[in-house]
Chain A
Amino acid sequence: MWRMHQSSIVLPNLPRRRFVQGLAAGSILLGLTPYLRPAWAQETAPGAVTGTVAILTGKEFELTIAETPVNFTAVPRMATTVNGSIPAPTLRWREGDTVTIRVTNRMSTSTSIHWHGIILPYQMDGVPGVSFPGIAPGETFTYRFKVRQAGTYWYHSHSGFQEQTGLYGSIIIDPAGGETIRADRDYVVQLSDWTDEDPMTVFAKLKKNSDYYNFIRPTVGDFFRDVSTEGLSSALAKRSMWNRMRMNPTDLADISGYTYTYLMNGATPLGNWTGLFRAGERVRLRFISSGTQSFFDVRIPGLKMTVVQTDGQNVEPVTVDEFRCGPGETYDVLVEPRDEAYTIFAQSMDRSGYARGTLAARAGLTAPVPELDKPQWLTMSDMMGAMNHDGQAMSGGMSMTAAPARHAKTEYGPGVDMRVDYPRTNLDDPGVGLRDNGRRVLTYADLHTPGGPLDPRGPEREIELHLTGNMERYTWSLDGLEFGKSTPVHFQPGERLRVILHNDTMMTHPMHMHGMWQELESPDGGFQVRKHTINVQPAQRVSFLVTADALGRWAWHCHLLYHMEAGMFREVVVA
């Protein structure tokens, strides 16, 4: 499984289409702040990693946000950094401590930091215009709150596109009663996407040409290939509905490897972030999906991964070959490597590129990098939910939806390109690109939080929100209303609510509600898993319970940054 390559870098088998592989070492060029110097990752594993993320511990933290030149692709660009690094320093807290974080803005624009998944008073949540006014240039904002949870989390800017330009870092919270997940090594693996373009330019391009970054669109050649393999009528049938509907079966990611370089702990694929181990050790990998617009499908060829935590919450261990990690989500896995080197391979959902790193017994070892999978087309179930070609409800996934969907009256306008009347509700679909790939792929049906829900009460009330958009116009909304036309969603203090998210689009949306846990329900209404970010697949309907125990104003949005920026965002008022 391993090969020795002293100094030469193993070039992965070139993907069908080249994507930006990046420099061997993405480097912060200049303007290093004094904070960059201390504590490299040495605290977790002595002399271990080539990744260079500082780890800050204690109860008091000083973070300085600045614009710093960075170079991932041989093109110098300005990035938004915390203490001069990408990712930002790892913050290591202890459950039960009260932490104080002073964040100073050294930029000419306003900024913010949101503590993703952390339960705290709303004024500390860091969403400009919702929790506080933001951190003005030159200003220092002091965050102070009691840490009431443990696990793997992360933080990022909630201002403009600063998350895309580098402002994200990890948070590790040690449990008050000591760690229950035993591991000999412990690494954060933070996945992200980088573009040399100005993110607002990227966004404007999508507004003008929503498939600008899609280089897997169906072609004449694909058609004739299908004709020769499947016959003419099948090839025509495969296309007719999509074409009639003006929907694109390859609309898997709005932004692709055409502009993105995918990063692992701030290292490009050629930079090859490496985590060291000794054979026989048990290694904990804390995967954090910080891609702004990228879902990552993660696997480590040659190793089984035992998922032990998601979104900071322990789950009953489940062993898989691969898992999909949506923007905002975290997955902690345990691996027991025995060979010399393994590739950590995180391909983007549209298969246009990957983040890559290595688990190695010694620095400098590498393992083969797999080829990118072939992109799969979206299927009818991604368009029509629990409906087969003949318009009949299928037996699977229908247990919750005997009645047709309840669309909002605002879903019948130009901002909505699809409405699913009979959504699918099953949680055991790994999603497009991972179906029937021969590997054991994690699904939400595999995730079980031990100990049951935090609040044993059943729901007193239901709220239903539809995820909507128009790919052609590149508008994204909830219930057909972009944020600018919306009104807040009101929760009664203390009430136990069922929230139904119904996806009327053909993209997967990682929905993130701030301030309160979301307890996902299984299709039959049982408790499944506690999360802060829930992927809702195309034409899928999921429900979760939430206890409105956090007074104040909170953000609730799609964690695809460009969808949020397009207005796929709501304010929640608990009052």
Chain B
Amino acid sequence: MIRASSVLMNRKIGMKRRVIVITAVLTMTGLSPAWAQHAMPGMNHDTMSGMSMKPDMGHESMPPPIRDPHAYSDGYDFGPIPRPRFADEHKFASLLVDRLEGVRTSDNTAMAYDLQAWYGRDYDRVVLKAEGDVDGGKLQEARSELLWGRAITTYWDTQLGVRYDSGVDPGRSWLAFGVQGLAPYWFEVEAVGYMSDTGHSALRLDVTYDLLFTQRLILQPRLGANFYGKRDAARSLGSGLSDLAAGIRLRYEIRREFAPYIGVAWAGKYGGTADYARSAGLDVRKTQVVAGVRFWF
């Protein structure tokens, strides 16, 4: 973890506090391998940058010779004809609606959504994230984020931007900084820290995994958590771990882009947030059956 945080600070991101928070939480969740590379004999993998390179196989005395890829040009540039433009210079766009589901409650069916869209090139993108619940035709709780995503390592992007919370509680605006990527063993991880206009801090974690029963029948466990730096009475949130959401969804990819699913979602409130809920006469634990579709294009 020392390596992870030092790399981030070396990148002059300058959000030391949040980095430390993220680092700490990553450590808590046992995700450190995402940052550290596994030095495989004969192969380097997902090294953060050249500086963390270590010669393998005990060749400590012989640092790997590093080539300059532009040395072969001898100063020559492209000719007078405009050079080809390949897809590395094109922009692409994608929308993934990961969850669009009905949640059966005692008296009605609520809806939940969770989507992520991006537009841009391979290593720099505009990222839009939105998640929320609608119940009784009313937006209960919603989080929307607009971020600049930048690829920093093989499997990880940093994300920097803004978040706006809306719903029945008073709105909140946040600055956001975090990481999203693929951890070893194929865990999709999102870890984002936030600082609000009212001086609150928050951290959100989301981890999913795809377990292939067949090429099309896929079980997706999911774990999400929210942490807050201090109490926010206006929004009935306590400090520390506020809520956990775990789910397991079984989808069938009719096409890769379109998969209906069924699942079970479990949610719990903790600490001060649970106290607020109890005093308002709300459940602090609930288990619900969900059904929906996952689609992307």
Contacts and interface: CB of A to CB of B under 8 A. Distances in A.
Interface in A52-86: none
B186 A243 contact: yes
Interface string B52-80: 01011101001011111110111111110
A475 interface: yes
Interface of B is mostly: loop
A215 B215 contact: yes
B41 A387 contact: yes
B212 A409 contact: no
B73 A487 contact: yes
A219 B214 contact: yes
A278 interface: no
Interface centre among B47, B77, B215 (most CB of A within 10 A): B215
Given A208-B94, A220-B212, A567-B88, A418 B45 contact: yes
A490 B55 CA distance: 31
B86 A564 contact: yes
A565 B83 contact: no
A473 B122 contact: yes
A463 B76 contact: no
Given A208-B296, A209-B256, A219-B213, A414 B123 contact: yes
A324 B15 CA distance: 53
Given A244-B38, A391-B57, A566-B86, A129 B68 contact: no
B292 to A, nearest CB: 19
B69 A410 contact: yes
B266 interface: no
B42 A421 contact: yes
B67 to A, nearest CB: 5
Given A207-B92, A480-B69, A415 B123 contact: yes
B200 to A, nearest CB: 32
A331 to B, nearest CB: 29
Interface string A239-252: 00101111000000
Contacts of A408: 66-69
A265 to B, nearest CB: 30
A241 B79 CA distance: 45
Contacts of A219: 212-215
Contacts of A151: none
Interface in B144-191: 151-156, 182, 184-186
Nearest to B217: A219
Interface in B94-138: 94, 96, 122-123
B79 A553 contact: yes
Nearest to A212: B256
Contacts of B68: 408-409
Interface in A122-159: 127-130, 132-133
B64 to A, nearest CB: 6
Contact of B78 (A132, A383, A415, A571): A571
B156 to A, nearest CB: 8
A349 B161 CA distance: 44
Q: Which 9 pairs show the lowest CB-CB distances between chains A and B?
A: A391-B41, A387-B42, A482-B88, A567-B88, A414-B151, A129-B84, A479-B69, A487-B73, A408-B69
Interface of A: 127-130, 132-133, 203-205, 207-209, 212, 215-221, 241, 243-246, 383-387, 390-392, 404-410, 412-422, 463-464, 470, 472-473, 475, 477-490, 553, 564-567, 569, 571, 573, 575
16 contacts: A128-B84, A129-B83, A130-B84, A207-B92, A246-B46, A414-B151, A415-B123, A420-B42, A472-B154, A484-B88, A487-B73, A566-B87, A567-B86, A567-B87, A567-B89, A569-B86
